[in-house]
Amino acid sequence: MKIAVLPGDGIGPEIVAEALKVLDVFRGEGVKIETEAGDIGGVAVDRQGDPLPAATLALCQGADAILFGSIGGPQYDTLQREMRPERGLLRLRKALDLFANLRPAQVFPELAEASSLKAEIVAGLDIMIVRELTGDIYFGEPRGIAINAAGERVGTNTMVYSESEIRRVAHWGFQAARQRRRELCSVDKMNVLETTQLWRDVMMEVAPEYPDVKLTHMLVDNAAMQLVRNPRQFDVIVTGNLFGDILSDEASMLTGSIGMLPSASLNAVGLGLFEPIHGSAPDIAGRGIANPLAQILSVSMMFRYSLKRPELADRIDRAVRSVLQQGIRTADIARPGEAVASTARMGDAVVAALRAQ
C-alpha cells in the first residue's frame, strides 16, 4: 500500500505526525505500508511557488491513498487567488475527480457533554453527510471580478451541475444509506435555484433503483435549522458542494469538537484523500496542543474506503473509543478543570490502545 502524505500548513504537520505513529504500529505487525511525503498548500507556495506542485500531483496519482493534514494561514491571505493554499486542495480534488466527500458526524458518548447543544439532543447522534466535491459554484464558469458598463466592479460565480455529476453522487448517497438506517435526505434550494431543481429531479430519478431506501428532500435553510433543532432525525444527507461545506461545519459542532471529525474524498475507482474536516488552526499551530483524533480517524477511513482493510479501520476506531473512555482529553474536548493532554500524548495513547488489543 502506497500512501502519499501531505501534512500541509498550521497544525497539519503536528497531527499528521501522530497519524503516522498509527501506521508504524501496523507496519510493526507486518502490514506493508509505504509512505512518501509531498508539499501542498502554503508550505508548497513557500518552497516551490505553487500550492499544488507537479511533483505532489504525480505522487498522489501514483498512490493508493492520500493522507492530508490541513492547509492555509493568515500569512497567505493577501496572495492572489491562484496562489492561495486552498487552490492546491481544490485543484487536487478536481484533478483526481474526488467527487464523493463523506463526512460522518458522530457523537462519542464520552463527549456528549462537550456539544454546545444539550446532551439529550445530541446523544447517539450519527449522521453521514455525502457532499459533492468537484462541481457547483466552487468550479462553475464564468467566475471572477470584472468592471461592468457602468464602471462598477461586479463579482460573478456560477452554480452549475450536469445531471451526470448529480447522478454519480446520488448513488453514493443511496449506497451509504443502505449500509445504515436506509434514510436519505437530499438537501437543495429548489424553490429558488434551477440548478438544485435539477438536483432534486435527478435524485428522484435514481430513487427507484433503491426501493429499500427512503428518500426525502429538504430545503437548505430548513436543513440548517433542523440540524440544531432535532439533528437525530437525519441518517444520510446528500447535497451539493457549497451547501455541504456549510452544513458539515454545522454538523461537526453538534458532536462537541470539530477536532474529532475525519472525512473521505473518493473518486470512481476508489482512490481517496483523507483529511480532518477542521482547518489548519493557525492560532494554535506549533504549540503541541491540537487534537490529532480527526487525523487519526482519517487513517481509519483510509483503511476502510481506499485500502480495503476494514479490520484495521475497526481497530483504530476502537482504540480511539478506548482513549476517550480512559478520560484522555486534548484542550478542545476537555471540560473545565479536566487534565489536558498534548497532541503527542493523545497520539501515544492511541498507539498504546492499539498495541493492547
Active-site positions read 138, 189, 221, 245, 249
Q: From the CB of 137, what's the least distance to ligand IPM, in Å?
A: 11
Q: Which of 18, 245, 275, 332 binds Mg ion (CB under 5 A)?
A: 245
Q: From the CB of 71, what's the least distance to ligand IPM, in Å?
A: 7
Instruction: Convert residues 227-266 into a mask of x (bound to ligand IPM by CB under 6 A) and - (unbound).
Output: ------------------x---------------------
The reply on whether position 235 binds Mg ion by CB under 5 A is no
* Set of cell numbers at residue 120: 439529550
Instruction: Convert residues 86-105 into a mask of x (bound to ligand IPM by CB under 6 A) and - (unbound).
Output: x--xx---------------
Instruction: Mark the segment that binds ligand IPM (CB under 6 A) among 21-29, 85-93, 144-152, 251-259.
Output: 85-93
Query: Choosing among Mg ion, ligand IPM, none, which partner's interface includes residue 44 (Cβ < 5 to 8 Å by kind)?
Result: none
The reply on whether position 136 binds Mg ion by CB under 5 A is no
Residue among 243 and 303 whose Cβ is closer to ligand IPM: 243
Residue among 94 and 217 whose Cβ is closer to ligand IPM: 94
Q: From the CB of 261, what's the least distance to ligand IPM, in Å?
A: 11
Residue among 239 and 328 whose Cβ is closer to ligand IPM: 239
Q: From the CB of 305, what's the least distance to ligand IPM, in Å?
A: 17
Residue among 73 and 292 whose Cβ is closer to ligand IPM: 73
The reply on whether position 275 binds Mg ion by CB under 5 A is no
Q: From the CB of 81, what's the least distance to ligand IPM, in Å?
A: 12
State the first-to-last Cα distance of the chain, in angstroms, to the nearest integer. Answer: 23
Residues that bind ligand IPM (CB under 6 A): 86, 89-90, 245
